[in-house]
């Protein structure tokens, strides 16, 4: 489906899901890039503080972007069970253009962002969990690059992705958070097509 067609169908409420692992031991880790972006977005747009929602087992903050009610959610489950929260926040349908999932991606360099719709998981366990739970892959995904500038895969991938960002990497990530925040604003107030053309 073309992005232009998606934009027409987008609803008056958006849900932004930031994937990662909960708990202080995972703060500022590469695998939590999605959570970090959503926290930045909520703060940047003056959303209230996140509060625990028992039904979805998530930290949730609700605000408005333009005239559109927008829910920012951070699953309080481990990454590979992110779908549990998604299923409670969204009703399974053939298409979920009002769901935006933000997550880390080891195949992209740190500083790179990729917005897509209806793509496969690419082996990302958190995304796979969401797809299973909502019974579709037809939702917006924003991939946040976390790999090193060299492009070489680390010898111990698990250790790398749950490792913390270095100070110089945090500076780059802050710029990424700003870029994605602007992309989300464009997506919500205008269209997915425009966000993809401007920020990909």
Report, in this order, helix, strand and coil percent for the chain, each rounded to 5: 40, 30, 30
Which of 176, 181, 174 is closest to 47 using CA atoms? 181
For residue 8, how many other CB atoms are within 10 A of its CB?
10
- C-alpha–C-alpha distance, residues 189 and 74, integer Å: 22
Candidate list 31, 103, 109, 124, residue with the active-site label: 31
- C-alpha–C-alpha distance, residues 25 and 15, integer Å: 26
Whether 109 is catalytic is no
Query: What residues are annotated to the active site?
Result: 31
């Amino acid at each position: 489906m073309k992005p232009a067609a998606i934009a027409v169908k987008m609803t008056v409420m958006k849900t932004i899901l930031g994937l990662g692992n909960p708990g202080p031991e995972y703060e500022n880790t590469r695998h939590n890039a999605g959570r970090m972006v959503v926290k930045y977005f909520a703060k940047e747009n003056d959303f209230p503080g996140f509060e625990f929602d028992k039904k979805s087992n998530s930290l949730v903050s609700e605000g408005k972007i333009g005239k559109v009610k927008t829910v920012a959610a951070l699953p309080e489950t481990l990454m590979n069970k992110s779908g549990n929260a998604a299923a409670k926040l969204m009703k399974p349908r053939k298409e979920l253009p009002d769901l935006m999932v933000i997550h880390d991606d080891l195949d992209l360099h740190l500083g790179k962002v990729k917005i897509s719709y209806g793509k496969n998981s690419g082996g990302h366990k958190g995304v796979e969990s969401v797809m299973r739970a909502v019974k579709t892959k037809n939702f917006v995904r924003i991939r946040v690059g976390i790999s090193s500038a060299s492009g070489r895969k680390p010898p111990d991938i698990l250790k790398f992705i749950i490792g913390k960002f270095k100070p110089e990497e945090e500076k780059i990530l802050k710029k990424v958070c700003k870029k994605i925040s602007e992309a989300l604003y464009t997506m919500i107030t205008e269209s997915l097509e425009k966000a993809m053309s401007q920020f990909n």
